[in-house]
């Protein structure tokens, strides 16, 4: 069996080291470099997503109560799209032009994934790793156990397990894996663990791709189609795993004058989407577990914040549900304005002039995504030139991550490196510079003794 299951035996340093030896030998055979192997593995991955869509949807339902349509669009379809693209472009990705740059696989790589899109964020990086010809170990998140065990099972069934494996488990297993010398580590998750991953990688000078999070702002100007903007904000918050998404809108910035109109519109559209009792809506994911439920409750119950709820706020602890909640003018030094929310709470922060929003954003750490709603050309330019973020969208939310011609990744505390589309191949490839020379044109000036007569250039 290719997959190492935690219930079978303890996955400790010894097991990790043993597995590493096997993968190094398999990678050393050169098998992953052939076009045929890479194509067959990508096709198997695609087939797995096609054959087992229902199992996947069920696992996501079990881990997150994720609505079927959301699972199909944001996890399965995106995975199939990325796979199909890699299959289609595999030949051109290989093309080394005049062979001045020769792409080569990095070797044996580790992918550590989080719970919020437990399928896509596990397998999407692997597409790039396989396309580039690497051996891969995936460590899915223990917080989405149904998807983690399904991934272990499916990868065991569909993929070449001499080179592609899944190790299930939590901190202990990940720590054992991190002790190994990898050729690249791709980690998606929070910045605190990101620092642990990077420190472990530094011991071996292993490069890292860190896909982290942060507070993603949406600036809302008044020169907009308010209904469309509102719907797109909702789509980029509650219709994305109930806000448990790295690029979900974390908070809104708008002017004091415009805030009441925006709030009315949000309330109206929220009710039309989720009804009068959103806690009962089948179209909202639940909070992943009681720890995260408690974390979100703490943000909401902070003294200086609890009076600022202007919509929602209802919770169902037993079923881990929190209704879409809007807060107006929470203090800047509150927890909710300083921590990534990663849930269904949306603070609206008001400013005197819309341009002041940019100072608010720039006073924090650099976000993974930033959004602006406006028809004002000057404001768009100012936004793009003054705000540093992993990515940005003018007049929409979230969907930039589905554009495969754009790299997806953070900057500063929201991450380093990027992937998606061709950038996934690049993320797991070393671009070797190769120069071919003949024997003519051997300039004497290169060789000592450096006599004056040689300086005739
Ligand atoms: P998580 O708790 O599932 O952790 C992610 C992975 O790290 C898991 O596989 C887990 O086992 C491992 N891990 C946890 N603690 C560890 C430790 N001490 N040592 C070694 N490994 C450890 O997921 P999470 O971190 O709660 O995920 C949410 C965060 O991820 C948010 O900050 C979100 O913004 C970010 N995120 C970023 C992206 C992106 O593409 N940039 C995508 C999704 C989520």
Task: Note the pLDDT of residue 3.
Answer: 53
What is the per-residue pLDDT for 445? Answer: 80
Helices and strands per DSSP (H, E), number in the chain: 16, 17
Whether the CB of 131 sits within 6 Å of ligand 1: no
CA of 448 to the centre of ligand 1 (A): 57
Closest to 87 measured CA to CA, from 154, 41, 32, 34? 41
- Are the beta carbons of 139 and 122 closer than 8 angstroms? no
Residues annotated as part of the active site? 211, 246
198 lines ligand 1 (CB under 6 A): no
Parallel/antiparallel/unpaired status of strands 309-311 and 325-328? antiparallel
174 ligand 1 Cβ < 6 A = yes
> Comparing C-alpha atoms, which of 179, 181, 189 is closest to residue 210?
189
Each of the 457 residues of the chain gets a pLDDT tens digit; together they read 345 544 557 899 999 999 999 999 999 999 999 999 999 999 999 999 999 999 999 999 999 999 999 998 899 999 999 999 999 999 887 765 455 888 999 999 999 999 999 999 999 999 999 999 999 999 999 999 999 999 999 999 999 999 999 999 999 999 999 999 999 999 999 999 999 999 999 999 999 999 999 999 999 999 999 999 999 999 999 999 999 999 999 999 999 999 999 999 999 999 999 999 999 999 999 999 999 999 999 999 999 998 999 999 999 999 999 999 999 999 999 999 999 999 999 999 999 999 999 999 999 999 999 999 999 999 999 999 999 999 999 999 999 999 999 999 999 999 999 999 999 999 999 999 998 878 877 878 888 888 877 765 4
How many whole angstroms separate alpha carbon 403 and alpha carbon 141?
26
Residue 60 in contact with ligand 1 by CB distance below 6 A: no
Instruction: List the beta bridge partners of residue 108.
Output: 135
What distance, in Å, lies between the first and last C-alpha atoms of the chain?
A: 66
Residue nearest to atom 40 of ligand 1 (CA): 211
Q: Which atom of ligand 1 is nearest to the CA of 408?
A: 40
**What are the tokens at 52?**
């087992």
Which residue bears the tokens 């790299």? 407
Residues 421, 410 contacting (CB under 8 angstroms): no
Look at residue 6 in the predicted model and tell me its pLDDT. 46
Widest CA span of the chain, in angstroms? 91
**Does 292 sit in the ligand 1 pocket, CB within 6 Å?**
no
Q: Which of 64, 114, 115, 125 to mutate to test the pocket of ligand 1 (most atoms within 8 A of CB)?
A: 114
Q: What is the pLDDT of residue 95?
A: 63
Burial class (CB in 10 A: 0-12, 13-18, 19+), 410: buried
Distance CA 349, CA 256 (A): 9
**Ligand 1 pocket mutation pick from 152, 175, 190 by most atoms within 8 angstroms of CB:** 190
Strands (E), 172-324: 184-188, 208-211, 217-220, 251-255, 309-311, 315-316, 321-322
CB 415 less than 6 A from any atom of ligand 1: yes
To test ligand 1's pocket by mutation, which of 193, 194, 208, 242 has the most ligand atoms within 8 angstroms of CB?
A: 193
Three-state DSSP class for residue 19: helix
For 279-283, which contacts have Cβ atoms below 8 Å and span 24 or more sequence positions? 279/314, 279/315, 279/316, 279/319, 279/321, 279/323, 282/67, 283/67, 283/239
DSSP letters, 388-401, are --SEEEES--SGGG
The predicted pLDDT at position 99 comes to 54
149 phi and psi, to 5 degrees? Answer: -75, -30
The closest alpha carbon to 144, from 51, 228, 235, 75, belongs to 75
pLDDT for res 290: 98
Q: Which atom of ligand 1 is nearest to the CA of 415?
A: 41
Q: Cα(34)–Cα(31) distance, rounded to whole angstroms? A: 6
Token pair for residue 17? 């080291």
ipTM score of complex: 0.98
Is the Cβ atom of 173 under 6 angstroms away from ligand 1? Answer: no
């Amino acid at each position: 069996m290719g997959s190492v299951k935690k219930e079978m035996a303890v996955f400790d340093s010894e097991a990790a080291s043993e597995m590493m030896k096997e993968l190094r030998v398999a990678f050393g055979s050169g098998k992953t470099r052939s076009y045929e192997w890479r194509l067959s593995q990508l096709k198997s991955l695609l087939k797995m997503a096609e054959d087992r869509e229902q199992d996947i949807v069920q696992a996501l339902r079990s881990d997150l109560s994720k609505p079927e349509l959301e699972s199909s669009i944001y996890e399965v379809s995106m995975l199939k799209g990325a796979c199909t693209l890699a299959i289609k472009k595999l030949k051109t990705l290989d093309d080394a032009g005049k062979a001045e740059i020769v792409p080569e696989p990095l070797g044996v790589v580790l992918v550590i994934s989080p719970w919020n899109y437990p399928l896509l964020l596990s397998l999407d990086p692997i597409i790039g790793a396989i396309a580039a010809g690497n051996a891969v170990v995936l460590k899915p998140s223990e917080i989405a156990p149904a998807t983690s065990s399904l991934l272990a099972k499916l990868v065991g069934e569909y993929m070449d397990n001499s080179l592609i494996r899944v190790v299930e488990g939590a901190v202990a297993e990940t720590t054992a894996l991190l002790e190994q010398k990898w050729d690249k580590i791709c980690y998606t998750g929070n910045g605190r663990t990101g620092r642990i991953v990077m420190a472990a990688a530094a011991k071996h000078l292993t490069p890292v791709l860190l896909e982290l999070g942060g507070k993603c702002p949406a600036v809302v100007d008044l020169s907009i189609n308010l209904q469309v903007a509102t719907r797109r904000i909702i789509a980029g918050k509650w219709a994305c795993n109930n806000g448990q998404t790295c690029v979900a809108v974390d908070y809104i910035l708008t002017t004091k004058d415009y805030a009441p109109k925006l709030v009315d519109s949000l309330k109206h559209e929220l009710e039309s989407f989720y009804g009068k009792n959103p806690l009962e809506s089948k179209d909202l994911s639940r909070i992943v577990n009681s720890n995260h439920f408690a974390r979100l409750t703490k943000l909401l119950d902070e003294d200086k914040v609890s009076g600022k709820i202007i919509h929602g706020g209802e919770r169902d602890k037993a079923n881990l549900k929190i209704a879409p909640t809007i807060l107006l003018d929470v203090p800047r030094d509150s927890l909710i304005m300083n921590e990534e929310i990663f849930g269904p709470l949306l603070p609206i922060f008001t400013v005197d002039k819309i341009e002041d929003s940019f100072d608010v954003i720039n006073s924090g750490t650099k976000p993974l995504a930033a959004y602006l709603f406006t028809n004002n050309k000057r404001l768009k330019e100012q936004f793009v030139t003054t705000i540093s973020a992993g990515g940005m969208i003018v007049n929409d939310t979230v969907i930039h991550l589905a554009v495969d011609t754009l790299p997806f990744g953070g900057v500063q505390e929201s991450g380093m490196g990027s992937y998606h589309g061709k950038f996934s191949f690049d993320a797991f490839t070393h671009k070797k510079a190769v120069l071919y020379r003949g024997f003519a044109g051997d300039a004497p000036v290169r060789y000592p003794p450096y006599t004056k007569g040689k300086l005739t250039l």
